[in-house]
Amino acid sequence: MKRAALYSSTNRSRGTASRPASVAEAAAPATPGRVRALFLDLLRRHERPVIFLGGALVAATLVLAFLALQPSPVEVSQEDIDAAVLHTLENKTLPSRAAKAAESVRESVVRVRGYSVDPKDPDAGEKERSVGSGVVIVDEGIILTNLHVVAGVSRVSVTFFDGMESEAEMVGAHPENDLAVIRALKIPDDLPSATLGSTHKLQPGDEVVAVGFPFGIGPSVSAGVVSGLGREFRSPEGERLLKNLIQFDAAVNPGNSGGPLVTMGGEVIGIVTAILNPTEARTFIGIGFAATIEAAGSAVGIPPF
């Protein structure tokens, strides 16, 4: 007769006790201490991602706080803009176009003086024989002026915008346009050169400024317009006929010779060369002439500017 299998209660108890510890722990009730332990264990195992995520959250919070503190944008109407412009015009004096043009070349304009000894009285020493103007076209001290200002003298002196004086030597001449190129032997620090323009688009009626040393006074500024182009002028001595000149009506006098004729954009487009006066006064009566900057380019020995 087959015997029924017998199961010991002890073995059943042992089987229950032998379940894996993890299962038993999972079945255990979730106490606050146990939750804390599990949380700390999770932090230890994922420390870097948690730190990164925390930093990102802090940064995002700061950005949002910053944006929340910014004032809301204010819409600006055309009326507001017009009112602001009107207020500026009523309360602030803006420089004129002529003033801005003159300022653009102010530090590039020099006074030029020629000295020589009178052969009839050599014991009297050097005397000033001529006075004119010039404009720096290369910041190394290369200056454009009129040939009649420096011709026939034994020594040439230039005075810069800051009061520095220097002797100069002639390095080029263009008698056909009464132009000369001189070089100062010493120059101020950071000497600026003038901006040279072109007469290709110049028209009668265009505003211009003449800067120089009339009668040695200056630098002086006068403003006017271009009166004509392609003019001719024969010097009172009849020595040469000057061609292709710019005629203008900005006031110039003896001493302006060699100074720049400047556009409202601050570009030198001519070198003041002569004035027309049928009397013996040799003063300005409304017509002046300037050699074009293209002719000045030939005097310097380089292609026109």
Domain ranges of the chain: 106-184, 207-300
Paired tokens of 207:
């505003």
Closest CA to 299 of 163, 182, 133: 182
The predicted structure's pLDDT at residue 39? 64
Measure the CA angle with vertex 151, ends 104 and 135; round to 5°: 5
pLDDT tens digits for range 227-286:
999 999 987 665 778 999 999 999 999 999 999 999 999 999 999 999 998 888 888 988
More confident residue, 262 or 4: 262
Is the pLDDT score of 19 beyond 60?
no
The predicted structure's pLDDT at residue 237? 62
Task: Please compute the mean of the pLDDT values over residues 196-205 and round it to a whole number.
Answer: 94
Q: Which residues of 37-164 form beta strands (DSSP E)?
A: 109-117, 126-138, 142-146, 155-159
106-184, CATH topology level: Thrombin, subunit H (2.40.10)
Is the pLDDT score of 152 beyond 70?
yes
Closest CA to 181 of 149, 154, 211, 220: 149
207-300 shares the fold of 106-184: yes
Active-site amino acid positions: 148, 178, 257
The predicted structure's pLDDT at residue 87? 81
Closest CA to 161 of 190, 140, 185: 190
Closest CA to 207 of 89, 109, 96, 95: 96
More confident residue, 42 or 134: 134
More confident residue, 110 or 88: 110
The predicted structure's pLDDT at residue 119? 80
Instruction: Just give the CATH number of 207-300.
Output: 2.40.10.10
